[in-house]
Structures are given as C-alpha cells and as structure tokens.
A and B are shown apart, each in its own frame.
Chain A
Amino acid sequence: MPTAHLKLWRGDDTGAYQEYDVEYAEGMVILDVVHLLQATQVGDLAVRWNCKAGKCGSCSAEINGKPRLMCMTRMNTFVPGETISIAPMKTFPLIRDLVTDVKHNYGVARKMLEFAPGAPAADGDYRMQQIDIDRLQEFHKCIECFLCQDVCHVIREHPDNLNNFIGPRFILQLAQVAMHPLDTNEKSASTADHWGVDYCNITKCCTDVCPEGIHITDNAIIPMKERIVDESFDPIRAIGRKLFGKK
C-alpha cells in the first residue's frame, strides 16, 4: 500500500501544521486519507463532510494551496511521495483543524432577494421553455461549498468587505432570481447594487475554483453589472425587458 505524506493544519488559529504518514489504497481521494488518519491516529480530527460524492459542498479545504473539495481530489493526481498540505479555508474564521465558521454566508442568505412568481396559466401550470432556463439551471447547480467566497480577493484580503460585498456565491443567487422568466420583482438587479456587486473587478478566480464548473463571472456577475447600469439609467427599458422577455 502506498503511503501519503500529509501536512495538515491542527488546532485553532494558534495551531500549526503537523505531519503525518498514512497508508492508503488505490483509487482513494484526499477525504478517504483524512478519514483513515482520523480512524487510526487522530480520533478528534475535525473535518466536515456529508456525501463523499461532490454533491453537498461540505468538505471544502485548501489542498496544496488550492481551494478544492477533499472528496473530489484523487490521490493519483499527486506525485508519489510528494508532501500534500491540507489547510482550512483561509477566508473564514477557523474553528478547529479543517473546520471553519461559515455562518456569515447563512446570514447573507437570509437577506437575499426572494423569488416572486406571477400567476400560473389557467390550467394551473407554469410554462417555461427549456432554452429560457438553461442558464438558470447552471446557477442552480451551486452546492454552497463557499470555495468561491474563499478565493475571492475582495473578501480574502479584506475580511471587512464582507459587510458590504455579498461575494460571488450570492451574486449568483441574485442573478438566479433576477433572470428567472417568471419573476416579478421590480428592478431586481438594482437591489444588487447595495450588495456591493461593484466591488468585483472580474478577476474570475471564483469561476476557476468552482467545483460545479459554473461560469460565475461571465454568466452571472457581468450580466448583473450590466443590468444595474441599465436599470439605473433607463427605467423604461428595464421595465420593458421585464414585460417582453429577458436577455
């Protein structure tokens, strides 16, 4: 059995990296190796996970400095014998070991614009064409791993900005409501204004780390920026767009 050399963060923010050797089996992912370590050497190793299938977004960490899901990072993507560093997400306050306090994100979620559909057709069904919802379905793939929030320099370098900037995950959620063909919120994009969409300078780092491959910047953030401009300068056009379909 091959051996993994891990350098893993232990403790709270006064903690330090510790090194461990763990024997593992073919086909394993980082999360398996962390679990092996937990079961055999460090029983109280704090780590979040739920599905081990890339579907829940719980196991986010920084592996060799890159924000990733531990359960979707296979051991055979590393050079044999290489020391692999596993650290908690840097942007969020550390609780212990690999677990961070991501509550702030849930606070933002409570304040988000809510979807408000119009009435359904006479037969009780809503009608939407597949082609009109393809892009929105892309946004709905978000598993709330918060890796995009972690990597975004606006927050990462200035945690204070969190009070004024909701971050890529939530701009995505705003776009999801604003672009929904059935939504009736007035000037939905302009509400995005005071969520600090302006802070984003389109570096696309969020898109690069998204494990769901969502084109956060191109498909959500840039269109939202354009809408904010549109709505603030041309209210008639904005309303017209609501009535006559969206682009």
Chain B
Amino acid sequence: MVDYETHEYDVIVIGAGGAGLRAAVESSATGAKTALICKSLLGKAHTVMAEGGIAAALGNVYEQDNWQVHFRDTMRGGKMLNNWRMAQIHAQEAPDRVRELEAWGALFDRTADGRILQRDFGGHRYARLAHVGDRTGLEMIRTLQQHAVHRGIDVYQECTITRLLKDGDAIAGAFGYWRETGRFVVYRAKAVILATGGLCKLFAINSNSWEGTGDGHALAAWAGADMIDMEFVQFHPTGMVWPLSVRGILVTEGVRGDGGTLRNRDQEQFMFNYIPPMFAAETADTIEEADRWYTDKVNARRTPNLLPRDEVARAINSEVKAGRGSPHGGVFLDIASRRDADYIQRRLPSMYHQFKQLADVDITKDAMEVGPTAHYAMGGVRVDAETTATTVPGLFAAGEVAGGMHGSNRLGGNSLSDLLVFGRRAGLYAAEYANAMPNLPGLNGTDVDTAAEEATAPFDNTGRENPYSIHHDMQDSMQELVGIIRKEDELGEARERLQSFRERSRHLRVDGNRQFNPGWHLSLDLRTMLTVADLITQGATLRKESRGGHTRDDYPGPDTHFGTVNIVQRWTPDGAVAREEPLPQMPHELAALFEGDSHADSAS
C-alpha cells in the first residue's frame, strides 16, 4: 500500500501560468470548488518571462483595427493551418480580456489620451500589443495571482503532477508529489484543466524556464487524448548568443517593433532579401519606406524586420550559414544607431539590463548579437474551439499546452491573449461539466499504486546513468536533428537516438532521498520529455513540406495536400500513432477576408 494524502475538488487546474490562473478564477466564480496546482512557487510560472505584450484589437492607436483584421493576421501568420474558430474567438474576445485585466489592477503603458497604449509586433497589421515596457508577463501574472488569491482559491504550490487518473474513459483526478517532502498526493476531481505550458526544454538552445518540459502534453497523451500539430515548434529569431551561458535567453520582438533592425556582418539590412511572395504586397521593399512605416502606417508598408517569426528565423539561419553572421554565430540587432538612449531605456528597460548585466553590452551604444532560440510549441492537446474540451471526457486544456489556435506559426503577443481567452473558457466549461455531475468519479487504487511505483522507480534502479547527462544529450540531439531545419535521414537518426535515451533512462542513478531532490525530479521529467520528443519527431517525419515552424530541407516549399490537413496523434502502449485529418472548413464570410491573397505559400 502506498501512502498518500487525498483532496477532493470539482475542478482542479494543473498549472498556474496565465492560462491556469485565469481558468481557476473563472471556475471558482461559478461556485465550483476549485484547486490550482503548480510545480514551482506561485507567480514564477513561465508566463512571468513574457516581455513584449498582449495582442488585442482594442483600436486605441489605430482605430482601423478590429477583430477581423486580427483574425486575418493570425491565420496568415499560421499559414492557414489554424483552427479558424479558435482564431476567431481569440480575436473577438481578447479586447475584453485585456480590459478586465486592467480592472483587476494591471497598469499598462498609456496613450496620450490616457488609454491603453499598443505597440507594433511581427505579423500584426496595426500596433496592437498592450504592454508594460518589456515586462508584460510579470504584470499579467501578478495581477491574476493577486486576483485569484483574493478569491480564496486553494493553491498547491511546488506540487508536481505525474499522472492523470481515470475512471473508465473519463477523467477522475491526478496523482503527484510534493517537491519539498517527496510525499504523494491524490486529487480526486470531476474535471481537470491542463494549463502546463510549453516544451522547449527539449532543445539545447531555448528561451524557456525549467518547467518547460512538456508535462501536460505527455500527461494528456498518456491519458489517451488526441494531440495535434506537434511538428510545429517556434524558433524565435532573436535569442542571445553570447556569452554561451546565456545562449537562448529571449530578446523581445519589441526591439524591432520599436525601431531595431537586423544586420549581417557587412552591416547589410538583410531582411529586405527575404520577403516571401505571401507577404510581398504588404511589406516595404526599400529601407526608406520601412523606416517611414514606424510613423506612417497608412501610406507606408511594414518593415520586413517584422515579418512573422518563422520567416525571420529562417533568414537569420541562412545568413549565418552563408558566412555572413556575427562573431559568435548570430547576426546583429541594432537599435543603438536608430533610436536615442532615453527612448531605448524607457521602452526596453529589461533588455537594457539583461545585456548590461549578463553580456556587458550597452544596447544604447552597441548592437546586440542574436540568433534563433526554441521558444514556443504551436502543437499540443487537441481541443474543442468553444469549450477547450479534449477528446477525453472531463479533461480540458488551455494555453501553450493546447494546440490548434496558432496553426503552423504563432504571432508574437498572441500567446498572452490566448491564455486569457481560452483560460477563461476552460474554467467556465470545466466547471459547467463538473457542476452537472452529481458524484465524484471513482478512484482506481491500482492506478494509484502504479503511479507511485513509477515515481519511485528511479531510486530502485541500480544503474549508473546520470539524469542530467541524458537530458543534455537529448537536448543536443533534438537541436541538431529536429531543430529549425529538418530532413528525412536526420529524423530517422533522431528516432534511433531517442530509443537509446529511453534505454539509458532505465538505468538511472539518483542520489539522496525524496526530499527536494532535483535529480529525482529530472529523472521523472525525462519520461515526459522523451514522450513529447517522440511525438514531435513523428509529426516532423510525416509532414513532407515546409510551412511555418516546420522547415524540411528535403521538401523546401509548401505542399497543396499538406496545406489541407492537420496531423493528429494518439499515444498507445507501442508509441504514437498518427493520422491526417482535413482542416475544419471556414464559413464564407470569413473566407472572404482572404480573397485576393497570394496563395503561393498558403496552398489551400
């Protein structure tokens, strides 16, 4: 018999980033007994790192902006693979969610007439991102955290979930351990919301916090939920490249939004050489026009520095490969020669500090060195657009762990708004599901025993493998073989290596005991990461085209067939099984928004 404590709730929310906090607030407001569980301390979730802003068509800076324009930008940014209904709901509801945040205490930067200021970001037609300097995520998480805490929601912090529990086909709760003591916890619940964030800790160069190990993706897959679009991983074009120890740390797109430009070794503004046909009509082709655009959005076209992220990341990759990179293998990002020091410090205070303190670079005087960094998972748990319900009854998902909304590539700023819009919906519909259920689902004792056994297994192993080394080797392998550019034979090699990592992870050596033991925690995270790595690698192998966050060297262009399907995966005891599913059809009035577009890239 395993020893564990039990808690009973109507709804439990796993994850306390923007999505989880917003979900918990909504669920608890319906009267459902709600708990919030997170593996770090409250307020430390990855969302805290978000910099540039929240995308919402408030129309405060350009009154021409509205949800249709935002919807269109989002779909085109995702190369038309997005779930259109999610993209529509997102664009329609984001403004209210931002205003609500303000009413809960968030202090966004202001326009001259005292309203919420909005900034330019890649792929957004108008200045659209509500922001607080370059620390918008901190503002969002603190506001939601204080709001949630004042609603009296129960919070279980530093508690990691390792398995979802089911009663027959439906969800019945979750199993986890306390970081501090290593003791086990069982949450019995009618509904479970996954809001566990992303997975970029799979890659060697990434912008994520330690929690980005894809736990929710794996938990859902193991519970039998459909996964969608897993091949699409966003490499943000601008991460720090030097010194090595900070490699990957994000440099916000706000630098380019506020006037910064990319240059190669020869000081050339190379983005002008990489304008794809799909965006040619709306992108400036001279430096003069691009610079004028910052102040005149009506008569000038946008700078190619702010093309969607996949385009910019590929361009940087090509420049470096062609030998035109910066000394440490990136390119230059220059705002120093283009804006005055006061402006830079006011608009980008965190960036100023980050470079000053970590790299000895004064960004008001010198150019930054930047290169692509694994940043965001477009793919995730497949959800119903209206309710965020997954294919497992009682299991809901919102935020980065959910898939579909962003298609093959996410626009900057569209994540924070996604968290709020779908976090709220997850809370609402999970509570509705739970409130309609008279009794708690049953608890299957054998499942709890199995979960406990697998959690303590690393201690029983008599092997010599160091979990930190396996993680390190896996990150290198994913970076090299399943990274920004992929091809058939390398993906095959990646699958073999994953097999060997799995084998090695059966012979772990974990020091110490269960009390606050990072070595043990990592060995459990290895299981989730290996599952997620399998899903990504399989999806990447099957999608024989290049689109958005998935670039195949052996299939360099978009493909007509693949432009009409999502890859959907399901986990089985023998690994992932994949199938293609046709994209949901957009209604006429929305399809009309894309008439006259160049379909050279969208291929649908």
Cross-chain contact A46 with B518 (CB below 8 angstroms): yes
Residue of A nearest to B359 (CB): A27
Instruction: Find out whether the CB atom of A72 lies under 8 angstroms from the CB atom of B245.
Output: no
Contacts of A39 in B (CB 8 A): 466, 468-469, 472
Whether A112 contacts B244 in the complex (CB less than 8 A), given A43-B510, A43-B519, comes out as no
CB contact between A126 and one of B43, B102, B350, B515 (< 8 Å): that residue: B102
Hey, which chain A residues are within 8 Å of B210, CB to CB?
A: 49-50
Tell me if A223 is interfacial: C-beta within 8 Å of chain B.
no
Query: A26 near B517 (CB under 8 angstroms)?
Result: no
Q: What B residues does A143 contact at CB under 8 A?
A: 48, 138
Does A125 contact B246, Cβ atoms closer than 8 Å?
Answer: no
| Contact (Cβ within 8 A) B246 A27 | yes
Contact A128 B110 (CB under 8 A): yes
Q: Which of B142-150, B257-265, B427-435, B536-544 contacts A (4 or more CB under 8 A)?
A: B142-150
Interface size, chain A (Cβ < 8 Å):
61
Measured in the bound complex, the distance between the Cα atoms of B359 and A27 in whole Å is 7
Q: Does B49 contact A (CB under 8 A)?
A: yes
Given A74-B357, A109-B146, A127-B115, answer yes or no on A46-B468 (Cβ-Cβ < 8 Å).
Answer: no
Q: Taking A50-B40, A127-B115 as contacts, is the C-beta distance between A109 and B512 under 8 angstroms?
A: no
- Of all chain A residues, which has the CB nearest B520? A44
Name the distance in Å between A107's Cβ and chain B's nearest Cβ: 10
Is B545's CB within 8 Å of the partner chain A?
no
> With the chains together, A9 CA to B518 CA distance in Å?
16
Which A residues touch B242, using CB under 8 A? 27
Q: Does B467 contact A (CB under 8 A)?
A: yes
- Establish whether residues B146 and A112, one from each chain, have CB atoms under 8 Å apart when the complex forms: yes
Q: Which residues of A73-116 have CB atoms within 8 Å of chain B's CB atoms? A: 74, 95-97, 99, 101-102, 106, 109-110, 112, 114-115
Interface residues on B, range: 35 or more
Contact status B358-A29, CB under 8 Å: yes
Contact across chains for A38 and B519 when beta carbons are under 8 A apart? yes
Bound Cα distance from A99 to B178, whole angstroms: 14
Which of B110, B157, B350 is in CB contact (< 8 Å) with A130? B110
What is the CB-to-nearest-CB distance from B599 to chain A, in angstroms, rounded to a whole number? 38
Is B104 within 8 A of A115, CB to CB? yes
Q: Chain B 105-146 against A: per-residue CB contact (8 Å), 1 yes, 0 no?
A: 101011001111000000000000000110101110010001
Q: Which B residues contact A (CB, under 8 angstroms)?
A: 40-46, 48-49, 60, 99, 102-105, 107, 109-110, 113-116, 132-133, 135, 137-139, 142, 146, 149-150, 155, 157, 180, 209-211, 242-246, 249-250, 350, 353-354, 357-359, 466-469, 472, 509-513, 515-520
Can you name 26 A-B residue pairings with CB atoms under 8 Å?
A27-B244, A32-B245, A39-B468, A40-B468, A42-B511, A44-B511, A44-B520, A46-B516, A46-B517, A50-B48, A50-B209, A50-B210, A51-B49, A53-B246, A53-B249, A54-B357, A56-B43, A56-B209, A58-B41, A58-B44, A74-B358, A96-B516, A112-B150, A141-B138, A144-B43, A144-B142
Q: Top 9 nearest A-B pairs by Cβ distance?
A: A27-B243, A44-B512, A43-B519, A127-B114, A39-B468, A43-B511, A115-B105, A46-B516, A50-B209
Name A's B-contacting residues (CB within 8 A): 25-29, 32, 38-40, 42-58, 72, 74, 95-97, 99, 101-102, 106, 109-110, 112, 114-115, 117, 120, 124-130, 133, 136-137, 140-144, 173, 176-177, 180
